C-alpha cells in the first residue's frame, strides 16, 4: 500500500475505475468497457454526467464510431434506456462476453426503462453494467421528482425493480462503499457462469460527494476470464456413457460460441462422426454445409435434427440452457432410454435433465472429450443418416428461398435474398415474431458469429439497438437487422443513435400488418388470430376493419435512415446490393404475404389451451393439446 489517495467524487472514481478495467482470455487482453451509454436527467447529469465529461476518451474513435482504445471512457448518447442495454448486450455477445458497455440513467422512468433490457441480458447470460441514478441518500426534502414513495419504506426505490433481473445488485449509499462493490461487480461480469446484468444504483447526492479514494483503486486491472477444466472423474463418466452410445447426438448451445470452441467441436465431430444440432444461441457452431450439421433443433428445428433427436440414446448438451424451444417442450428426445451428458460452465445448466454433469469450459471439455474418446466413432449408418439429412434439408431450404410466391413475396424468400446478399462473415440479427423461427430453420450460417438471434427473452425491440451494439463490436462485418413491423414499432429509436454515430446498419423491415406469429398461435389454439392484426376497429368491435394508414418507411426516413421500399424479390435483391454499397444506415422496407408460412420442419411447443370454452375451435384445439402433452416427459 502506498497510502496515497485522490480526492474525487464517487462518480469520478467510478468512471476512472471503469476506464482501467480489462479482461483477458487465452493471453488476449481488451478493455472491459468500450464506453458508457447514457441519457441524462437530474439523477445523473451532475454526477456521472460530470465525471464522463471529465474523463471523456480523446480521439475520433476510429472508423464507424468504433470504441476508442485511448484512455478515459467514451460517452454514447442514446434515445431509450432499454435500447442502451440491448446495445450493450449485443456488443457483449458479439465480443463473446469479454467486453461490454456501462449504461447510466437518471432516476425514476430512466431507471425503470432498464428493466426489460436487464432481463434480456440476464436470461441470455450477457454481461452489462447498469448505473441507474437513485433518490437522495441524505433524505433531506423528499420526495424528489420521480421518487416512488413505496409502502415498503424509504429503503425501497424504483431501482429495486432491477433486483430480480440482475446477477448482482447494490446501492452505493456512501462514497466509501464504492470500491468493494465495484470489485464484486467486475467479478460477476467476467465470470462466465454468473454473468448477466449487474446493477449499481447510485443516489444522486452520493454521486457528487468527494472522498479520498486510495490510488490503488485506479490501477490497471485485468480480470482473467477462466476456462474451468472438467473434473477427471466427471469426464471419465461422460466418456463411459458416450462409448456405450449407439445413437449419440450433440446439441451445441451458445456456450460453444462464447468459449470459441467451434474448432474443438469440428475436430471432435471429424474424429467421432457425432451429428450436431444447434440451439438458437448455438447456431453457427458448425458451418451449415458440414455433413454432420443437422442445423436447428426443437420447436423450430429441421426434420433431420428432430428425427435423430427422437432416436438418440445419448444426448451431449454443450453450452446450452435447454430452453423449451430446444427440447420442443420436453417432447423431442423420445427414446425411453435417452441419457444426457451436459458440458456447461454453469452448474445450473450442467445438471439439467438429470445429466452426467461436466462443469467446464466448452472448449477445454470438448478437447478433453476428444482425447479421452480415443478412436471411438459413432456408428457409420448413424453418421451417414446425418449427412443425408443435411443434403435433404438444404434442398428444402433452397425451395423455400426460391418459392416464387406472389404477388407479395413470402418471408422465406426474403430470408433467402438476405442470405444471398450477406457475405460469409456478415451477421444476421433478429429477436421476436415469426422471423426467428424461420431464420433458425433456414439461415445458412457460415461463421460462428454470423447468427445473432436473441431468443432467450425474444424481446421485441432488441433488433435495432442490438444491431447497433454488434456493429460497434464488429465494424468489419455487415450487420443485417431483420425486424417485423410490430417489433419495429416497439423500439425504432436507436436508428437515430446509429445515424448520429455513423454506425452503418442494414435493416430489413418486414411489413405484414400485425403480430403475425402470435396470430398463427392464436389460430392454432382456436382463437382465429383475435387481436393480432393491425386494422381499424370494425362495427363489431374487432380489429378487422380497414388497413391502417401507417407508413413505417416514412417513419424510418424521418429518423435519418436512408430508406428503400420494395415489393418484389428482384427489387429486394437490388436494394440489398445498394444497401451493401452504401456507407450509411439503410432501411429496406418490404411487404410480405403473412399467409405464406414456412411449412418445413418444426415440432410441438407447449402453449396451454383453455380447458373449457364456448368455442368449438378452442375445444378442438384443447383436444389436440392434450394429445400432444402425452409426448411430453420429464428427463429424470
Ligand X SMILES: Cc1ncc(C[n+]2csc(CCOP(=O)(O)OP(=O)(O)O)c2C)c(N)n1
Residue 438 sits in the site that holds Mg ion (CB under 5 A): no
Cβ-based nearer residue to ligand X, 114 or 460: 460
Q: Which of 458, 497, 522, 527 binds ligand X (CB under 6 A)?
A: 458
Cell of 155: 429503503
Q: Which of 44, 146, 512, 522 binds ligand X (CB under 6 A)?
A: 512
Q: Are the CB atoms for 36 and 76 separated by under 8 Å?
A: yes
Cell 421528482 -> residue:
145
Part of the chain binding ligand X (CB under 6 A), chosen from 185-193, 361-369, 415-423, 431-439: 431-439
User: What's the closest the beta carbon of residue 435 comes to Mg ion, in angstroms?
Assistant: 9
Residue 416 sits in the site that holds ligand X (CB under 6 A): no
Q: Residue 627: count other Cβ atoms within 10 Å of its Cβ.
A: 10
Cβ-based nearer residue to ligand X, 20 or 411: 411
Part of the chain binding Mg ion (CB under 5 A), chosen from 326-334, 415-423, 482-490, 619-627: 482-490
Residue 275 sits in the site that holds ligand X (CB under 6 A): no
Part of the chain binding Mg ion (CB under 5 A), chosen from 94-102, 243-251, 304-312, 477-485: 477-485
Residue 485 sits in the site that holds ligand X (CB under 6 A): yes
Which H helix or E strand runs over 19?
helix 10-19
Nearest residue to 189 (alpha-carbon basis) of 87, 94, 132, 121: 121
User: What's the closest the beta carbon of residue 451 comes to ligand X, in angstroms?
Assistant: 18
Residue 516 sits in the site that holds ligand X (CB under 6 A): yes
Helices (H), 249-379: 254-258, 262-272, 303-311, 324-327, 347-350, 362-373
Part of the chain binding Mg ion (CB under 5 A), chosen from 56-64, 192-200, 241-249, 483-491: 483-491
How many chain residues are in contact with ligand X, going by CB under 6 A? 19
Instruction: Name residues whose C-beta falls within 8 Å of residue 310's C-beta, 6 or more positions apart in sequence.
Output: 332, 333, 334, 335
DSSP secondary structure string for all residues of 476-514? TS-EEEEEEHHHHHHS-THHHHHHHHT---EEEEEE-SB
Residue 456 sits in the site that holds ligand X (CB under 6 A): no
Nearest residue to 1 (alpha-carbon basis) of 194, 146, 189, 216: 216
Cell 418445413 -> residue:
600
Backbone angles phi, psi at 589, to 5 degrees: -100, 120
CA distance linking residue 529 with residue 284, whole number of Å: 34
Residue 462 sits in the site that holds ligand X (CB under 6 A): no
How many chain residues are in contact with Mg ion, going by CB under 5 A? 5
Part of the chain binding Mg ion (CB under 5 A), chosen from 110-118, 318-326, 373-381, 485-493: 485-493
Part of the chain binding ligand X (CB under 6 A), chosen from 36-44, 416-424, 439-447, 509-517: 509-517
User: Which residue number places its CB atom closest to Mg ion?
Assistant: 484
Q: Which of 32, 162, 198, 460 binds ligand X (CB under 6 A)?
A: 460
Residue 484 sits in the site that holds Mg ion (CB under 5 A): yes
Nearest residue to 71 (alpha-carbon basis) of 82, 79, 83, 61: 61
Q: Which of 107, 201, 225, 435 binds ligand X (CB under 6 A)?
A: 435
CA distance linking residue 340 with residue 414, whole number of Å: 37
Q: Are the CB atoms for 170 and 181 separated by under 8 Å?
A: yes
Please list every residue from 123 through 142 that binds ligand X, using CB under 6 A: none
Cβ-based nearer residue to Mg ion, 304 or 484: 484
> Could you check whether the bond before residue 326 is cis, i.e. omega within 30 degrees of 0?
no
Cell 445429466 -> residue:
355
Instruction: Provide the mask over 495-534, with x wherever binding to Mg ion is found by CB under 5 A and - wherever it is not.
Output: -----------------x---x------------------
User: What's the closest the beta carbon of residue 491 comes to ligand X, in angstroms?
Assistant: 8
Q: Which of 372, 387, 403, 518 binds ligand X (CB under 6 A)?
A: 518
Cell 402425452 -> residue:
630
Binding residues for ligand X, rule: CB under 6 A, are: 432-435, 458-461, 484-487, 490, 512, 514-518
Q: Which residues bind Mg ion (CB under 5 A)?
A: 484-486, 512, 516
Amino acid at each position: 500500500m502506498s497510502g496515497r489517495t485522490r480526492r474525487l467524487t464517487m462518480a469520478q472514481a467510478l468512471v476512472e475505475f471503469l476506464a482501467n478495467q480489462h479482461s483477458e482470455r487465452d493471453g488476449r487482453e481488451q478493455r472491459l468497457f468500450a464506453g458508457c451509454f447514457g441519457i441524462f436527467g437530474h439523477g445523473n447529469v451532475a454526477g456521472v454526467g460530470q465525471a464522463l465529461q471529465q474523463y471523456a476518451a480523446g480521439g475520433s474513435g476510429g472508423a464507424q464510431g468504433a470504441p476508442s482504445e485511448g484512455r478515459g471512457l467514451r460517452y454514447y448518447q442514446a434515445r431509450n434506456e432499454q435500447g442502451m442495454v440491448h446495445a450493450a448486450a449485443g456488443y457483449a455477445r458479439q465480443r463473446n462476453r469479454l467486453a461490454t458497455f456501462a449504461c447510466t440513467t437518471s432516476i425514476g422512468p430512466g431507471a425503470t426503462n432498464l428493466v426489460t433490457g436487464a432481463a434480456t441480458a440476464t436470461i441470455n447470460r450477457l454481461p452489462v453494467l447498469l448505473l441507474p441514478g437513485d433518490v437522495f441518500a441524505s433524505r433531506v426534502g423528499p420526495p424528489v421528482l420521480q421518487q416512488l414513495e413505496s409502502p415498503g419504506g424509504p429503503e425501497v426505490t424504483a431501482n429495486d425493480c432491477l433486483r430480480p433481473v440482475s446477477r448482482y445488485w447494490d446501492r452505493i449509499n456512501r462514497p466509501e462503499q464504492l470500491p468493494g462493490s465495484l470489485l464484486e461487480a467486475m467479478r460477476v461480469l467476467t465470470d462466465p457462469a454468473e454473468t448477466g446484468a449487474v446493477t449499481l444504483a447510485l443516489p444522486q447526492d452520493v454521486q457528487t460527494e468527494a472522498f479520498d479514494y486510495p490510488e490503488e483503486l485506479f490501477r490497471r486491472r485485468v480480470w482473467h476470464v477462466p476456462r474451468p477444466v472438467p473434473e477427471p472423474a466427471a469426464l471419465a463418466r461422460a466418456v463411459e456413457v458416450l462409448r456405450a452410445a449407439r445413437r449419440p447426438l450433440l446439441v451445441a448451445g451458445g456456450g460453444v460460441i462464447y468459449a470459441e470452441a467451434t474448432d474443438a467441436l469440428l475436430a471432435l465431430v471429424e474424429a467421432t462422426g457425432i451429428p450436431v444440432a444447434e440451439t438458437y444461441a448455438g447456431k453457427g457452431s458448425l458451418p451449415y454445409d458440414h455433413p454432420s450439421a443437422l442445423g436447428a433443433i426443437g420447436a423450430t428445428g429441421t426434420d433431420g435434427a428432430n428425427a435423430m433427436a427422437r432416436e438418440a440414446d445419448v444426448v451431449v448438451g454443450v453450452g446450452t440452457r435447454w430452453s423449451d424451444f430446444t427440447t420442443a417442450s420436453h417432447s423431442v428426445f423420445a427414446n425411453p432410454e435417452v441419457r444426457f451428458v451436459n458440458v456447461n460452465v454453469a452448474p445450473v445448466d450442467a445438471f439439467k435433465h438429470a445429466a452426467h454433469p461436466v462443469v467446464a469450459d466448452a472448449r477445454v471439455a470438448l478437447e478433453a472429450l476428444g482425447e479421452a474418446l480415443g478412436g471411438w466413432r459413432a456408428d457409420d449408418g448413424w453418421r451417414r443418416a446425418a449427412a443425408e439429412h443435411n443434403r435433404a434439408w438444404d434442398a428444402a431450404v433452397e425451395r423455400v428461398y426460391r418459392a416464387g410466391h406472389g404477388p407479395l413475396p413470402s418471408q422465406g424468400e426474403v430470408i433467402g435474398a438476405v442470405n444471398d446478399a450477406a457475405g460469409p462473415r456478415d451477421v444476421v440479427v433478429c429477436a421476436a415474431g415469426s422471423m426467428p423461427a424461420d431464420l433458425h430453420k433456414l439461415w445458412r450460417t457460415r461463421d460462428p458469429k454470423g447468427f445473432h438471434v436473441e431468443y432467450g427473452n425474444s424481446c421485441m425491440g432488441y433488433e435495432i439497438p442490438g444491431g447497433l451494439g454488434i456493429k460497434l463490436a464488429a465494424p468489419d462485418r455487415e450487420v443485417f437487422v431483420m425486424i417485423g413491423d410490430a417489433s419495429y414499432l416497439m423500439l425504432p429509436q436507436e436508428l437515430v443513435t446509429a445515424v448520429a454515430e455513423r454506425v452503418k446498419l442494414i435493416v430489413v423491415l418486414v411489413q405484414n400488418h400485425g403480430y403475425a406469429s402470435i396470430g398463427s398461435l392464436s389460430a392454432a389454439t382456436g382463437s382465429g388470430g383475435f387481436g393480432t392484426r393491425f386494422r381499424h376497429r370494425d362495427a363489431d368491435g374487432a380489429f378487422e376493419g380497414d388497413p391502417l394508414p401507417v407508413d413505417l418507411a416514412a417513419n424510418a426516413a424521418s429518423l435519418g435512415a436512408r430508406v428503400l421500399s420494395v415489393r418484389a424479390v428482384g427489387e429486394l435483391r437490388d436494394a440489398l446490393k445498394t444497401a451493401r454499397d452504401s456507407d450509411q444506415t439503410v432501411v429496406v422496407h418490404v411487404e410480405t404475404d403473412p399467409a405464406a408460412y414456412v411449412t418445413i420442419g418444426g415440432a410441438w411447443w407447449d402453449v396451454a389451451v383453455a380447458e373449457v370454452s364456448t368455442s368449438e375451435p378452442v375445444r378442438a384445439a384443447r383436444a389436440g393439446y392434450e394429445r400432444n402433452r402425452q409426448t411430453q416427459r420429464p428427463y429424470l
